[in-house]
Amino acid sequence: EPEVTQTPSHQVTQMGQEVILRCVPISNHLYFYWYRQILGQKVEFLVSFYNNEISEKSEIFDDQFSVERPDGSNFTLKIRSTKLEDSAMYFCASTRDRNRDEQFFGPGTRLTVL
């Protein structure tokens, strides 16, 4: 069964460093999302991506964040200069039809900023 994959599973970085979180969505899906979950809190939307551009972003998704789909299979989230408060689990999700289909989630990347 097709699944969304994410790498790495755990990333530890120093404050101020750049990180890139990688996702491979399900191959025939068209809509891609990043969500994050700070420990003990609810899951929050970061950004959605369709047709090679951002379709919606939250207030969290400021200039330090960027997304791209560089090669038609990978979907990446970059944090330019990490802060302590960026420590969270980051989930990638994808769906084929955003109005009819459920979103499929990857296993998540746990980001720890020291």
Q: Which two tokens stand for residue 99?
A: 């109005």
Q: Are the C-beta atoms of residues 20 and 65 closer than 8 Å to each other?
A: no
Q: Which two tokens stand for residue 28?
A: 């025939």
Nearest alpha carbon to residue 74 among 109, 23, 17: 23
Task: Tell me if 48 contacts other proteins by CB under 8 A.
Answer: yes
Q: Would you say 18 or 101 has its CB closer to other proteins?
A: 101
Task: Tell me if 45 contacts other proteins by CB under 8 A.
Answer: yes
Task: Tell me if 26 contacts other proteins by CB under 8 A.
Answer: no
Nearest alpha carbon to residue 10 among 21, 2, 1, 24: 21
Q: Rounded to the nearest whole angstrom, what is the least distance from the CB of residue 61 to other proteins in the complex?
A: 11
Q: Would you say 22 or 98 has its CB closer to other proteins?
A: 98
Task: Tell me if 107 contacts other proteins by CB under 8 A.
Answer: yes
Q: Rounded to the nearest whole angstrom, what is the least distance from the CB of residue 48 to other proteins in the complex?
A: 6
